[in-house]
Amino acid sequence: MTRASEAFRIISRGAYTGVAAQPGKDGEVLIAVSANGGSKIADELSKGARFQLYLALRGAGYHEFVANRAPIPFIADDIMETFDDFRAEEAFRLFTEMAGHGQVIYLTHHRHLTEIAKKVCPGVRLHDLETVQSVSRLDGIAAE
């Protein structure tokens, strides 16, 4: 939980300081620890904060996985739709750090997020599928 807590603190820009799990009646309950000293169960968070928490957990899980195995791609599909630009910047910084251990693929149709990615991740490679499709006159795109 240490890595997830740190990622959540960074992505939330300090609004939350960590993550914890507490026993509940049906298993463990995920708790977000607020910077003001309070805490909320994950289900009580706003959609944006909940997505930030889940991204932090996925990032921590990815690091745990690649620490003991061959790296696999990390794929995320528009998980930043509820993030403000500042939190999106932090998420892209997290992706940049993760890319040092394996491939990170982020899919979005939000053009402003591609601009943020270019600003925050100097080595990012962007693929505009509309451009690829119109130039190549393809009906579909597949990657191996």
Position with higher pLDDT, 130 vs 105: 105
Residue 140: pLDDT band by 50, 70, 90 thresholds?
low
Q: Say what the pLDDT of residue 134 is.
A: 59
Q: Say what the pLDDT of residue 129 is.
A: 77
pLDDT of residue 144 exceeding 50: no
Q: What share of the chain is helix, strand, coil (3-state, %, to 5)?
A: 45, 20, 35
| 63-105 pLDDT per residue, tens | 999 988 988 899 999 899 889 999 999 999 999 999 989 899 9
**Nearest-angstrom CA–CA distance, 60 and 73:** 14
Fold observed for domain 2-136: Rossmann fold (3.40.50)
Q: Between helices 47-68 and 85-99, what is the axis angle to 10°?
A: 10
Q: Say what the pLDDT of residue 19 is.
A: 94
**Nearest-angstrom CA–CA distance, 1 and 82:** 24
Q: Specify the pTM.
A: 0.83
Position with higher pLDDT, 22 vs 135: 22
Residue closest to 55 by CA, chosen among 92, 109, 103:
92
For the chain, the domains span 2-136
Q: Say what the pLDDT of residue 7 is.
A: 94
